[in-house]
Amino acid sequence: MIRTLACAAILAAAFAAQPLPAFAQSTAPTATQHDAASVAVGSIAISGAFTRATLPNAPVAGGFFTLTNTGSQDDRLVSASADFADVAQIHAMAMQGDVMKMGQLKDGLVIPAGETVTLAPGGYHLMFMGLKHPLVEGETVAVTLTFEKAGSVTLDLPIGDPAADAPMAGMDHGGH
């Protein structure tokens, strides 16, 4: 089952100011892979990774990919980091009335056991703020994802067209 942003009410609840319990410290090992179409860390499989090219002096960019939890327990994407940006955050977009709102998911993004969650333009995504250089189409940038249970993995994001809504055919989108 692919979780989408079909129900704005669900996302609105994600923005509610009710704090969730603190995250447990992960003792899972860090996973890395080179030149693979899909990357796995613990029970989380990551595929279809990409970002979009930016104009010079653009302050922000987004990161997109699909997360599949093959395990029997929910996991949570708790943070992201990227050397090419000052800040990397997990975000969601949702309609609130007639206005599309975007906000940080401060408690992370749950990846339910046995389900798939897609980070895509207009929905869940990573937000890279304070870009240190333009993202150039055809190049790649690395982002490190940290999961509550699965641990951390560094993922290469191929940089596609500025209007891309999916990774370009033939581009590597694996980890390193």
CATH number at 156 reads 2.60.40.1890
Tokens encoding 10? 């669900």
Identify the domain containing residue 95 by its residue range.
2-15+32-160
In a domain, 125, yes or no: yes
pLDDT tens across the length of the chain (176 residues): 333 333 333 333 333 333 333 322 233 333 333 333 589 999 999 999 999 999 989 999 999 999 999 999 999 999 999 999 999 999 998 888 888 888 999 999 999 999 999 999 989 999 999 999 999 999 999 999 999 999 999 999 999 999 888 786 654 444 44
Burial of 149 (0-12, 13-18, 19+ CB in 10 A): buried
Q: Work out how many domains the chain is built from and give that number.
A: 1
